[in-house]
């Protein structure tokens, strides 16, 4: 059964190859969506993964704050070998350099989310993002058997498999820490929700002659549990919404950017935030990013953990339960602009603002 519809879109890399100056109408954003340049923006939190993995409580508290206040952080000392990072980057570069006829062999089917194409495009009128992408389910092993593995791309499959496995180890440690922070044992979330799944999206943002008119990726929040992003070391493109402003995520070489997805926002009863983010384009340099989405099992129900709901502490249940695949289907078909994917499951709650919050 499919996840949702996605319409075929032209390859933007091809468009730019043929004419690097003009911007086709469909890519020009409405005035209010156009990116404004942000100059000095604050830095997002940085977490030392090696400390987390050693059980350091101060670092775990930093993680807690980062997830509450930013929903985004960078991790250093994640322990993934440099060759593994370099291989996956090369694999992505090699794939996007293939002739378009070759890439089209891996085109996303209409009711699938795997392959070359854009997932969120649901209508012919919709504005398009200035990027090409390929998405593949990578873990667990059963679904790793993707029929269109880009075989013409040497080393692609191996690079992707090694990278996915390494990323899963990092994700599992963060998951274990989040479990503890949400009042469970280290394996609490996995016990309740089953093993995590993983999909990888490689994004290619060609150069753009008018970065002020287009978006590399429109504002969205990620639907899954966690996203771990390997971004280009040189080109800044990712921006996150923080206190109503767009903040640049400046690359720290060889680190990973991690963000909380909708599923963790829901499981945490809204304590951890799935933050809206977008990508801007660059006039001089193309940019590649590799996003690993760590997701709940499609058939699992997600809803606030009992340990995160406490009416006496004025922490009422904020979301209803929903089967993860039904949630994602709705997100994909609704193509909600910006934040508020989780509004689909938000409960109407009237907080009694006159009562003091006894959150001790
Ligand atoms: O390219 C980036 O920096 C972000 C990509 C992203 O947000 C996504 O693939 O969901
Ligand atoms: Fe994203």
- pLDDT tens-digit readout, 152-185: 788 898 999 999 999 999 999 999 999 999 999 9
User: 46 - beta bridge partners?
Assistant: 74
Q: Which residues line ligand 1 (CB under 6 A)?
A: 201, 203, 217, 222, 229, 231, 237-238, 277, 279, 289, 291
| CA distances, 337 to each of 66, 223, 328 (Å) | 25, 14, 15
pLDDT score recorded for residue 85:
98
- The 10 Å Cβ neighbour count of residue 324 is 23
56-92 pLDDT, tens digit each: 999 999 999 999 999 999 999 999 999 999 999 999 9
Sign of CA dihedral 53, 58, 61, 67: negative
Task: Give the ipTM.
Answer: 0.99
pLDDT of residue 351 exceeding 50: no
The SS3 assignment for 217 reads strand
User: 302 - beta bridge partners?
Assistant: 322
Mean pLDDT for the stretch of residues 39-64: 95
From the CA of 293, give the closest atom in ligand 1.
10
Mean pLDDT for the stretch of residues 4-16: 81
Higher pLDDT, 221 or 336: 221
User: Which of 71, 129, 227 is the best mutation target for the ligand 1 pocket, counting ligand atoms within 8 Å of the beta carbon and taking the most?
Assistant: 227
Q: Token digits for 173?
A: 């440690």
Angle value at C-alpha 85, between 82 and 86, nearest 5 degrees: 85
User: Which of 71, 135, 229 is the best mutation target for the ligand 1 pocket, counting ligand atoms within 8 Å of the beta carbon and taking the most?
Assistant: 229
Domain boundaries along the sequence of the chain:
33-352
User: Using CA atoms, how far apart are residues 237 and 278, in angstroms rounded to an integer?
Assistant: 8
Q: Which ligand is nearest to the CA of 281?
A: 1
Characterize the bridge pairing of strands 72-76 and 256-260: antiparallel
pLDDT score recorded for residue 336:
47
> Using 50, 70 and 90 to split pLDDT, how confident is the model at 343?
confident
> Using 50, 70 and 90 to split pLDDT, how confident is the model at 121?
confident
pLDDT score recorded for residue 36:
83
User: Using CA atoms, how far apart are residues 245 and 42, in angstroms rounded to an integer?
Assistant: 10
C-alpha 201 – ligand 1 centre gap (Å) = 8
pLDDT of residue 250 exceeding 50: yes
Which residue owns the Cα nearest ligand 1 atom 9? 291
Q: Per mean pLDDT, which of 22-36, 120-134, 142-156, 170-184 is the most reliable?
A: 170-184
Mean pLDDT for the stretch of residues 259-283: 96
Residue with tokens 């994004």, as numbered in its chain: 203
- Name which of 2, 23, 88 is nearest 283 in CA terms: 23
User: Using CA atoms, how far apart are residues 189 and 127, in angstroms rounded to an integer?
Assistant: 38
User: Which of 35, 238, 239 is the best mutation target for the ligand 1 pocket, counting ligand atoms within 8 Å of the beta carbon and taking the most?
Assistant: 238
pLDDT of residue 328 exceeding 90: no
Percentage of residues in the chain with pLDDT exceeding 70? 89
pLDDT of residue 224 exceeding 70: yes
C-alpha 293 – ligand 1 centre gap (Å) = 10
Q: Mean of the per-residue pLDDT values for the chain?
A: 88
From the CA of 231, give the closest atom in ligand 1.
3
C-alpha 342 – ligand 2 centre gap (Å) = 14
- Name which of 175, 344, 331, 196 is nearest 268 in CA terms: 175
Read off the pTM.
0.93
User: 132 - beta bridge partners?
Assistant: 204
pLDDT of residue 357 exceeding 50: no
The SS3 assignment for 247 reads strand
Asked if residue 346 has a cis previous peptide bond (ω within 30° of 0), the answer is no
pLDDT score recorded for residue 355:
35
C-alpha 280 – ligand 1 centre gap (Å) = 10
- Name which of 266, 233, 264 is nearest 250 in CA terms: 233
C-alpha 156 – ligand 1 centre gap (Å) = 20
> Using 50, 70 and 90 to split pLDDT, how confident is the model at 356?
very low
pLDDT score recorded for residue 274:
95
Contact between 190 and 196 (Cβ < 8 Å): yes
User: Using CA atoms, how far apart are residues 280 and 284, in angstroms rounded to an integer?
Assistant: 13
Question: What does the DSSP assignment read for 142-155?
Answer: GGG--TT--TTSTT
pLDDT score recorded for residue 16:
95
C-alpha 333 – ligand 2 centre gap (Å) = 17
C-alpha 202 – ligand 1 centre gap (Å) = 9
User: Using CA atoms, how far apart are residues 110 and 65, in angstroms rounded to an integer?
Assistant: 40
Name the CA dihedral angle for 290, 12, 5, 277, rounded to a multiple of 10 degrees: 50
Contact between 313 and 339 (Cβ < 8 Å): no
pLDDT of residue 360 exceeding 50: no
Strand ranges (E), the chain = 46-48, 72-76, 115-116, 132-139, 197-205, 217-220, 226-231, 238-242, 245-248, 256-260, 277-279, 287-295, 301-302, 322-323
Angle value at C-alpha 260, between 258 and 265, nearest 5 degrees: 170
pLDDT score recorded for residue 4:
55
pLDDT score recorded for residue 331:
80
Residue with tokens 């100059």, as numbered in its chain: 39
Which residue owns the Cα nearest ligand 1 atom 3? 238
Which residue owns the Cα nearest ligand 1 atom 6? 291
From the CA of 277, give the closest atom in ligand 1.
7
C-alpha 124 – ligand 2 centre gap (Å) = 22
Give, as one character, the DSSP assignment of residue 319.
B
From the CA of 222, give the closest atom in ligand 1.
10
Topology given in CATH for the domain delimited by 33-352: Jelly Rolls (2.60.120)
Q: Token digits for 309?
A: 């709901």
Which residue owns the Cα nearest ligand 1 atom 4? 238
pLDDT score recorded for residue 241:
94
Out of 117-126, 271-280, 330-339, pick the least confident. Answer: 330-339
Contact between 85 and 162 (Cβ < 8 Å): no
> Using 50, 70 and 90 to split pLDDT, how confident is the model at 39?
confident
Contact between 219 and 338 (Cβ < 8 Å): yes
Out of 38-47, 213-222, 271-280, pick the least confident. Answer: 38-47
Mean pLDDT for the stretch of residues 31-41: 84
C-alpha 120 – ligand 2 centre gap (Å) = 12
């Amino acid at each position: 059964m499919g996840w949702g519809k996605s319409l075929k879109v032209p390859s933007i890399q091809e468009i730019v190859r043929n004419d690097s100056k003009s911007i086709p109408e469909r890519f020009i954003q409405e005035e209010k969506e156009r990116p404004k340049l942000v100059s000095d923006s604050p830095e997002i939190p940085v977490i030392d993964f090696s400390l987390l993995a050693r059980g350091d409580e101060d670092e775990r508290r930093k993680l807690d704050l980062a997830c509450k206040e930013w929903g985004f952080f960078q991790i250093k000392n994640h322990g993934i070998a440099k060759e593994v990072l370099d291989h996956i980057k090369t694999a992505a570069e090699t794939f996007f350099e293939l002739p378009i006829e070759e890439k089209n062999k891996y085109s996303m089917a209409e009711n699938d989310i795997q392959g070359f194409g854009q997932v969120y495009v649901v209508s012919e009128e919709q504005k398009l993002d200035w990027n090409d992408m390929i998405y593949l389910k990578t873990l667990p092993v059963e679904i790793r058997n993707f029929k269109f593995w880009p075989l013409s791309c040497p080393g692609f499959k191996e690079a992707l498999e090694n990278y996915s496995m390494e990323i899963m180890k990092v994700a599992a440690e963060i998951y274990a820490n989040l479990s503890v922070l949400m009042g469970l044992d280290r394996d609490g979330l996995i016990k309740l929700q089953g093993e995590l799944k993983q999909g990888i999206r490689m994004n290619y943002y060609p150069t753009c002659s008018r970065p002020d008119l287009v978006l590399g990726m429109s504002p969205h929040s990620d639907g899954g549990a966690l996203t771990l992003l390997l971004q280009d070391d040189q080109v800044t493109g990712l921006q996150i919404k923080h206190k109503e402003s767009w903040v640049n995520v400046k690359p720290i070489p060889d680190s990973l950017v991690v963000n909380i997805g909708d599923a963790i926002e829901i499981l945490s009863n809204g304590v951890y935030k799935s933050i809206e983010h977008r990508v801007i384009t660059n006039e001089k340099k193309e940019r590649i990013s590799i996003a690993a989405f760590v997701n709940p099992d499609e058939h699992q129900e997600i809803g606030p953990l009992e340990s995160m709901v406490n009416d006496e502490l004025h922490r009422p249940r904020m979301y209803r339960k929903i089967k993860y695949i039904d949630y994602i289907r709705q997100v994909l078909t609704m193509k909600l602009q910006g934040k508020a994917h989780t509004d689909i499951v938000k409960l109407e709650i009237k907080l009694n603002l006159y009562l003091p919050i006894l959150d001790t």
